[in-house]
């Protein structure tokens, strides 16, 4: 719609057909190939990166913000996945195919939700403009695993994960300077297109420039001391000026921060350092009213108190938060349940979660917590019944299968346990391990005819997939 027009007006490049910037030698890799490279890199990160933060509440939040931005883009239907990396540097990075990593340092450093959205919009633009594909487009003789390995290599050098490095590694020793010129163009383009996404999504567009400006002032922009986001996104002074100019000519739009923005930041902050220090930090904020949002500060205090094992105080604090927020806020209910569970009140935790699920039936972190609470009290049949329904709605959610495996194990159902584990490995992209689990399921000796047939059919399908993949390499 309007966005398509904006993109084609703003772009010196054709929006369709995707020519390379000043490059005529090679063709681009296809969007399908991009997605495959991104998926493979994502699987590697999930499996091997100890900094990958598997926190369903944080993941849900960054995906909500990300989705708002993506739906404002011309490629609104592209399947984006946002994920969180536990790293104190202020950074975010995009991989081909729509995988965007967000550092916890960025979540904590952003002072408004629009600032965070500004950085994400820039990364989304790198994806929608196929920048990485353009950079590696000439390497078409490389296989998907090799290209994924290049991406991973960049991320391993976490201090500098953005595009500039993608170029250097991708290009080899020659032609680095000319490639770097491309990345400067890419950065400008990502700023310009990202700005449009930000505006369309209804965020405050001054956020982008003010955030970068603050980082620049804080660090004086000296190469090695600059936050990695600036180091990996060259031409900062000029970029900030551009952003500020664009923001000045745009109509001012107020975009208040969501409650979740404050809760997510408080959750992260409460997990930092020693529990007692975290309690002292949030107590100070609450006592001196030094907060942008009272519910957020008190939520942080309740969370820190829980870590410190002070459940009575935590309970009283979270009850105050529940009164402050209007209606049912899933993150607040989850912490309420967590406190009850930690203090040994499993039935109370279940009750809170059941009530919250009635109000927010699509919020998956509530489902995970509910199943865990059932498992805590050895209600494995109830847990399995709940999971069976969930799997129908979310067949690609590995959490669900891994919780199933746990309850099958506890119920002595070996075939079903291995079958569920096979799906976990399958979704993680480790086919050989998935096949091994199905073979173990076959040998388990406790399945009926129908269960064995299902295992056999799945085994056949995965073996076919495996031979197809080995042909492609
Ligand atoms: Zn960039």
> Nearest CA to 308 among 269, 263, 277, 345?
277
In 10 A of CB 166, how many CB atoms? 28
Ligand 1 mean position to 249 CA, how many Å? 23
Distance of alpha carbon 471 from alpha carbon 473, whole angstroms: 6
Ligand 1 mean position to 392 CA, how many Å? 38
Distance of alpha carbon 12 from alpha carbon 32, whole angstroms: 25
State the pairing for strand pair 92-95/99-103: antiparallel
Residue labelled with tokens 């870590």: 307
Ligand 1 mean position to 426 CA, how many Å? 33
> Could you give phi then psi for residue 95, rounded to 5 degrees?
-115, 160
Predicted local distance difference test score (pLDDT) of residue 27: 55
- The beta-strand segments (E) located in 243-313 are none
> Nearest CA to 270 among 320, 243, 308?
308
Ligand 1 mean position to 229 CA, how many Å? 8
> Nearest CA to 303 among 284, 261, 275?
275
Ligand 1 mean position to 16 CA, how many Å? 21
Strand, coil or helix: what is 101? strand
**Residue 276's Cα: distance from chain center in Å?**
29
Ligand 1 mean position to 126 CA, how many Å? 7
pLDDT averaged per 10 residues in sequence order, the chain, 473 residues: 22 32 51 84 84 95 96 75 90 87 92 93 89 66 68 54 45 42 77 92 86 68 47 63 79 84 98 96 97 96 98 98 94 98 95 97 97 96 98 95 98 98 94 97 95 97 92 71
Distance of alpha carbon 394 from alpha carbon 177, whole angstroms: 46
Ligand 1 mean position to 191 CA, how many Å? 8
Strand, coil or helix: what is 68? helix
What kind and span of H or E run contains 314? helix 311-324
> Nearest CA to 262 among 224, 291, 233, 219?
291
Ligand 1 mean position to 185 CA, how many Å? 10
Distance of alpha carbon 246 from alpha carbon 258, whole angstroms: 25
Model pTM score: 0.84
Ligand 1 mean position to 228 CA, how many Å? 11
State the DSSP code for 251.
P
Distance of alpha carbon 403 from alpha carbon 388, whole angstroms: 11
Ligand 1 mean position to 340 CA, how many Å? 43
Ligand 1 mean position to 190 CA, how many Å? 6
Ligand 1 mean position to 217 CA, how many Å? 19
Distance of alpha carbon 164 from alpha carbon 179, whole angstroms: 9
**Residue 48's Cα: distance from chain center in Å?**
16
Distance of alpha carbon 133 from alpha carbon 130, whole angstroms: 5
Ligand 1 mean position to 187 CA, how many Å? 5
Ligand 1 mean position to 133 CA, how many Å? 14
Distance of alpha carbon 370 from alpha carbon 364, whole angstroms: 10
Distance of alpha carbon 321 from alpha carbon 305, whole angstroms: 14
User: Do 421 and 405 form a contact (C-beta atoms < 8 A)?
Assistant: yes
Ligand 1 mean position to 268 CA, how many Å? 25
Strand order in the sheet with 52-53: 52-53, 81-85, 99-103, 92-95
Residue labelled with tokens 């399947």: 79
Predicted local distance difference test score (pLDDT) of residue 225: 46
> Nearest CA to 425 among 412, 435, 439, 411?
435
Distance of alpha carbon 229 from alpha carbon 209, whole angstroms: 13
Q: What residues are neighbours of ligand 1 (ion), with CB under 5 Å? A: 187, 190, 233
Ligand 1 mean position to 135 CA, how many Å? 13
> Nearest CA to 192 among 261, 249, 134?
249
Ligand 1 mean position to 70 CA, how many Å? 16
Ligand 1 mean position to 20 CA, how many Å? 17
**CA separation (Å) from 140 to 30, 301, 359, 407?**
10, 53, 50, 46
- The beta-strand segments (E) located in 36-155 are 52-53, 81-85, 92-95, 99-103
Give the burial class of 412: count Cβ atoms within 10 A of its Cβ; 0-12 exposed, 13-18 middle, 19 or more buried: exposed
The CA-based angle 347-350-354, given to 5 degrees, is 140
Ligand 1 mean position to 234 CA, how many Å? 8
């Amino acid at each position: 719609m309007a966005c398509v027009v904006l993109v084609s007006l703003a772009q010196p490049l054709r929006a369709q057909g995707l020519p390379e910037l000043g490059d005529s030698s090679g063709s681009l890799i296809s969007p399908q190939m991009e997605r495959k490279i991104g998926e493979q890199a994502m699987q590697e990160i999930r499996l091997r990166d100890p900094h990958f933060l598997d926190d369903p509440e944080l993941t849900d939040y960054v995906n909500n913000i990300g989705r708002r931005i993506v739906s404002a883009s011309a490629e609104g239907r592209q399947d984006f996945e946002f994920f969180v990396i536990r790293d104190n540097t202020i950074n975010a990075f995009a991989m081909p195919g729509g995988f965007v990593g967000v550092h916890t340092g960025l979540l904590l450093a952003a002072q408004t939700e629009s600032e965070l959205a500004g950085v994400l919009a820039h990364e989304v633009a790198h994806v929608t403009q196929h920048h990485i594909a353009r950079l590696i487009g000439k390497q078409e003789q490389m296989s998907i695993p090799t290209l994924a390995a290049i991406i991973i290599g960049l991320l391993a050098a976490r201090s500098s994960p953005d595009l500039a490095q993608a170029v250097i590694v991708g290009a080899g020793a020659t032609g680095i300077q000319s490639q770097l010129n491309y990345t400067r163009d890419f950065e400008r383009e990502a700023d310009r297109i990202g700005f449009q996404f930000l505006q369309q999504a209804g965020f405050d567009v001054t956020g982008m420039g003010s955030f970068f400006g603050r980082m620049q002032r804080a660090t004086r922009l000296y190469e090695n001391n600059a936050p990695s986001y600036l180091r990996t996104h060259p031409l900062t002074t000029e970029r900030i000026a551009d952003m500020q100019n664009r923001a000045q000519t745009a109509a001012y739009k107020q975009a208040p921060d969501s409650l979740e923005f404050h809760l997510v930041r408080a959750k992260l902050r409460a997990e930092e350092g020693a529990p007692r220090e975290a309690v002292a930090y949030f107590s100070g904020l609450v006592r001196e009213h030094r907060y942008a949002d009272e519910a957020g500060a008190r939520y942080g205090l309740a969370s820190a108190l829980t870590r410190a094992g002070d459940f009575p105080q935590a309970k009283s604090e979270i009850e105050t938060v529940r009164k402050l927020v209007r209606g049912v806020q899933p993150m607040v209910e989850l912490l309420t349940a967590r406190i009850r569970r930690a203090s040994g009140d499993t039935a109370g935790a279940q009750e809170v979660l059941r009530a919250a699920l009635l109000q927010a039936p699509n919020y998956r972190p509530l489902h995970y917590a509910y199943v865990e609470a059932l498992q805590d009290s050895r209600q494995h049949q109830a847990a399995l019944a709940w999971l069976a329904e969930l799997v129908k709605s979310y067949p690609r959610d590995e959490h669900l299968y891994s919780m199933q495996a746990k309850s099958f194990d506890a119920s002595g159902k070996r075939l079903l346990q291995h079958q569920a584990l096979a799906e976990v490995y399958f979704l993680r992209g480790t086919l050989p391990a998935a096949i091994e689990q199905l073979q173990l399921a076959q040998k388990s000796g406790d399945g009926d005819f129908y269960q064995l047939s299902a295992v056999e059919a799945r085994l056949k399908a995965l073996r076919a997939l495996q031979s197809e993949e080995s042909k492609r390499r």
